[in-house]
Amino acid sequence: MQTISKIGIMTSGGDSPGMNAAVRAAVRTAVYHGLEVYGIRRGYQGMIEGDIYRMEATDVSNIIQRGGTILKTARSKEFMTDEGMHKAYEQLQSHGINGLVLIGGDGTFRGAVEFFKRYTIPAVGLPGTIDKDLAGTDYTIGFDTAVNTAVEAIDKIRDTAEAHNRLFIIEVMGRDAGYIALHSGIACGAEDILIPETNTDIDAVLKRIDMDERRKKNVHIIVVAEGDDFGGAKELYAAVQSRFPMLDVRSAILGHIQRGGSPTCADRVLASRLGYAAVDALRTGKTQVMAGIVNGELVYTPFENCVKQHAVISKDMIEMIRVLAV
């Protein structure tokens, strides 16, 4: 087992609230155990370019409550080339880094798998993504904050929808997974929730709108994930407006407000627990695994198995959504 003495920490891919809490936990755990810590700015691209600096416990003071990531983040096509990986390896070697903590999503972990095939530097990952779409953990860092941000925004939109008897179509993030739409839609009492995991029957959606109008329902809220097969808010708005030109229809795209903001208590605790676990895993010889929480327990899942997973919606939940929308 290789003895880990210097750890590099980076955040990669889309930012998510709680990344800073994870960085803080990993840095302080490493320092506690007498390890040197290096921050790698801008993910794999910063690794290639040598944007690496020494970190102490004081460098992560007063960041647990901040959104975004102090280490910055980026996506790097160059890293997925042999030349790019070799440059990254040389930079790690020049700093003496012999262990990595990677905070990101499945793209980050796929990159780690390919890197490890060429250069056997141990790496442990943390699930940093608002989409909650990784196997190997019940929740991902940032999901709870993002869905609560969506809920707060939808609640405010409902107020104005009720005041004007308007139909609102609200698009939330979720290019490949509908967890944010599903959870926020249920929490806000949406009449329809459209997600990538199910085929949208636009005729059925329009029929439900027609029924609500006939019985004079004051508010109709539709929550749609950006990756829905029919399209996002703009496409749905056009279909509804075309079928019901007399209705007062509005659309809202929540966009990147879901990525920012102070992380919730749940995300801070999750990120802290996983940041601590990542360093502990490296110290005990684990590598090429993601730390996650399943049924309240810490588990480690090989990177190859941390693929994107889609929401499995039971028939009971679909029925519940329809019943509660009456």
Cα(61)–Cα(76) distance, rounded to whole angstroms?
29
Report the 10 Å Cβ neighbour count for 250.
Answer: 16
Residues carrying an active site annotation: 131
Fold of 6-142+263-305: Rossmann fold (3.40.50)
- Partnered with residue 59 across adjacent β-strands are none
Pair 294, 137: CB distance under 8 Å: yes
For the record, the structure tokens of 161 come out as 């929808």
Which residue shows structure tokens 């709108």? Answer: 209
Burial class (CB in 10 A: 0-12, 13-18, 19+), 82: exposed
Give residue 311's pLDDT: 61
For the record, the structure tokens of 202 come out as 């636009």
Four-point Cα dihedral 154, 160, 162, 167, nearest 10: -70
Pairing relationship of beta strands 99-104 and 52-55 according to DSSP bridges: unpaired
CATH number for region 144-259: 3.40.50.460
Pair 182, 311: CB distance under 8 Å: yes
Same fold, 6-142+263-305 and 144-259: yes
Q: Mind listing the pLDDT tens digit of every residue in the chain (326 residues)?
A: 568 899 999 999 889 999 999 999 999 999 999 999 999 999 999 999 999 999 999 999 999 999 999 999 988 889 999 999 999 999 999 999 999 999 998 889 989 999 999 998 999 999 999 999 898 999 999 999 999 999 999 999 999 988 888 899 999 999 888 899 999 999 999 989 999 888 888 998 899 888 888 777 777 899 999 999 998 999 999 999 999 998 889 999 999 999 999 999 999 999 999 999 999 999 999 999 999 999 999 999 999 888 777 666 667 777 787 777 66
Domain locations along the chain: 6-142+263-305, 144-259
Give which of 250, 233, 257 is closest to 148, Cα–Cα.
257
